[in-house]
Structure 1
Amino acid sequence: MLRIHFTDADLASTRMARAPDALWEVAASLHRFQTRAGRWAYAGWYRTTHARLREQRLDRIVREVLLPLFPRARYFPDFLTPDQSSCADEGLDAALDAIVSTPSGRVGRELALLHGYVRVPAWVRRLTGRQERRDLVAAIRSYHEVAVRPFADQIHARLEAGRSSSCRELLDGGVQGMLAGLGPGMRWQHPVLQVRYPVDRDLHLGGRGIRLVPSYFCWGSPVSLADPGLPPVLIYPLLHEPIAAAPASPLTALLGRTRTTVLRVAASGAGATTGEIARAVGISPSSVSKHTGVLRGAGLLISSRHGGNVLHTLTPAGASMLRTDT
């Protein structure tokens, strides 16, 4: 269990990431190759990415370089997920530069700590050298281009749905309401956020607040940095639902595959915008508008304008149809 202790100053300084964190998504996606847990939620990604890595001859680099450094274990080095990765526009470049610039002493200490949890290849010790870290970040960048960037639209759509839900919790119950609604594996009991975690520890924020990062590839338990002196961050999984309906689904036979999928996307989080549905389903915004118009006319969706976006949410009838679909 991880217990995160908040003061009033911490509650005021708590913030949620407005975009995916590039290196945390790299780390979490590498963990997906190391377990079958949750494989159903990433089946399409897994098949496609596995094939692309082989085609571009990156499978060996992933197996021999990246997986040893990002093990699905109780620890992997903090310097591999620097705070610079939080920048929405230049997060990956800034984070990779930060990895190269990490003081050698810190790199050595964290690699020694990693060796205490898992067996690591002998070459890992050479990462205290800047040139070796430049080679490492080149490998990370290549992996990101194949395994993460091609799925950016899906990742953004899920994150926006999660943020929308958290924003509603924030409006209804303030920061404490948002913390209480972060999802399974986390429980808010003022002034402590209890998090399901592989080790027992306490994290006292001490007025620094915390950055909450919903993650597409994170599965199961949330993740935090091991060093309590670093800027506090909590990576937690977005809720996943199978989007595509099965071919034999009665709802698919009634509405068609695309409209059934639109309904399922609108059911995730607290609704979805036209753009989010377009990215998740793989159709144009104008096509989304046509399909949502039909579903709205059938009494299955409600559409409401929020600023420059139109938010689509299920009616009780739409939710009932999804629940009874077999």
Structure 2
Amino acid sequence: MLKIFFSAEDVARITVLSEPDPIWEIVLSLFRLRGRHLDPALSAWRAAALAELRRPHLSRSDPTGPGGDCPGAPRPDLSRQLGFLFALLPVSGYFADFLTPSEAVGTDLDASLEAIRSTPAQLLRLDIDLLAASNPLPSTTAGLARGDTAVMTALTDTMRAYHDAVLAPMWTRVTSAFEAERTRLGRAALDGGVAGLLGSLSPLMSWHDGALHVTYPVDQELHLDGRGLVLVPSYFCWRYPVTLRDPDRRPVLVYPIARPSGWVAPDGTELDPCVQLGALLGRNRAAVLVAVGGGCSTSELARRVGVSIAAASQHATVLRNAGLLMSLRHRHTMVHTLTPLGQAMLHRG
């Protein structure tokens, strides 16, 4: 059991991430990739991810890529490159805190990878010593413990390559589930305040006596001491919430969110909601509907879908005129949310 103790100041400083955290999703998806115990909803994803990791790809540094003037150098089997990373992520027990820097939670992938590369050597040594106490580590971790620049760069390059190959193609799905959870939390907070928000995290957590009691594989206490708590809903977290071992780091609590069962077909294959709605709305417009999730601005929508701001605005206008979106101006920003009809269409897929 993990007990998180709140002061009145901590209660006022509870926050929820506005977007999925790429580093936590990388780390937790790697556990799901090789874990013996797997959520059945991820079985099709795991099979596809393993096949993708074994397939040769052009290196990220190659400027041309498919259709370019030169073929570029194929990258090695990424599944082999992940071996070093797996050593830092044992299937049970402690895994290296520095791989999920708390100061970078809520930032983009580039900023998070830079935070990992910039980890102070003393923190690296502490993490490596804790890991080595219960797990045999490869000799290359000696360079990691020293903060060797080449080793740290190779590590973060592998994390980037894994993200691009396995997570980026499904990021819209991750974002949609995340936005649905934020909407649920928002409604719980509006209906019941902070107690309603924390109480809505059951059955994995319960809120009473000024503390959040979290189902956890070991006994641990976390005293927030006025620092507040960052809630990190995660698509790839499963069974238990996760927090950092070091109590001096920024307090975060990562917990599993529901993955809609409608995205898994009877034969076990995953359904992409963009594909299912694409036949009706068109691929780009379906992607916009999915990306809106619990609400976003036009610029956020453009970034999530990968289109220009003008194109995102045009698609949002069409969907709004069809009664699927509602758009409200907040200061200088237009914020889009799904209407009940839009939510029903999205969830029916």
For normalisation by structure 2, the TM-score amounts to 0.69
User: For residues 92-241 of structure 1, what are the structure 2 equivalents within 5 Å?
Assistant: 92-102=113-123, 104=125, 106-107=126-127, 109-115=129-135, 120-121=136-137, 123=139, 126=142, 129-130=145-146, 134-148=149-163, 151=168, 154=171, 161=179, 165=183, 174-181=193-200, 185-189=204-208, 191-215=210-234, 217-228=236-247, 230-237=249-256, 240=259
Could you tell me whether the CA contact under 8 Å between 2:296 and 2:337 is conserved in 1?
yes
Q: Is 1:257 aligned with 2:269?
A: no
Q: Is 1:293 aligned with 2:344?
A: no
**Which position in structure 2 is the counterpart of 1:308?**
332
Counterpart residue type for residue 9 of structure 2: A
Provide Cα deviations, 1:42-66, integer angstroms capped at 9, x if missing partner. Answer: 8877665654499422432312x11
**Which position in structure 2 is the counterpart of 1:282?**
306
Could you tell me whether the CA contact under 8 Å between 1:111 and 1:125 is conserved in 2?
no
Provide Cα deviations, 1:68-92, integer angstroms capped at 9, x if missing partner. Answer: 2112323213344444434848443
2:115 aligned counterpart, secondary structure: helix
Could you tell me whether the CA contact under 8 Å between 2:232 and 2:254 is conserved in 1?
yes
Q: 1:82 to 1:292 in 2, by over 3 A?
A: closer
Instruction: Give me the whole-angstrom Cα distance separating, in 2, the residues matched to 1:176 and 1:113.
Output: 40
Counterpart residue type for residue 259 of structure 1: R
Instruction: Give me the whole-angstrom Cα distance separating, in 1, the residues matched to 2:331 and 2:169.
Output: 24
Counterpart residue type for residue 192 of structure 1: A
**Which structure 1 segments of 5+ residues have no match?**
none
1:263 aligned counterpart, secondary structure: helix
Q: Is 1:74 aligned with 2:89?
A: no
Q: 1:304 to 1:138 in 2, by over 3 A?
A: same
Counterpart residue type for residue 28 of structure 2: A
Instruction: Give me the whole-angstrom Cα distance separating, in 2, the residues matched to 1:310 and 1:42.
Output: 38
Q: 1:69 to 1:176 in 2, by over 3 A?
A: same
**Which position in structure 2 is the counterpart of 1:5?**
5
Instruction: Give me the whole-angstrom Cα distance separating, in 2, the residues matched to 1:197 and 1:265.
Output: 32
**Which position in structure 1 is the counterpart of 2:27?**
27
Could you tell me whether the CA contact under 8 Å between 1:53 and 1:146 is conserved in 2?
no
Could you tell me whether the CA contact under 8 Å between 1:6 and 1:191 is conserved in 2?
yes
Question: What is the number of equivalent residue pairs in this alignment?
Answer: 314
Instruction: Give me the whole-angstrom Cα distance separating, in 2, the residues matched to 1:153 and 1:246.
Output: 10
Provide Cα deviations, 1:249-277, integer angstroms capped at 9, x if missing partner. Answer: 5x5443333333333333x3x23333343
Could you tell me whether the CA contact under 8 Å between 2:177 and 2:259 is conserved in 1?
no
Q: 1:76 to 1:290 in 2, by over 3 A?
A: same
Q: 1:29 to 1:322 in 2, by over 3 A?
A: closer
Instruction: Give me the whole-angstrom Cα distance separating, in 1, the residues matched to 2:22 and 2:283.
Output: 32
1:296 aligned counterpart, secondary structure: helix
1:70 aligned counterpart, secondary structure: coil
Percent of matched pairs sharing the same residue? 36
**Which position in structure 2 is the counterpart of 1:273?**
297
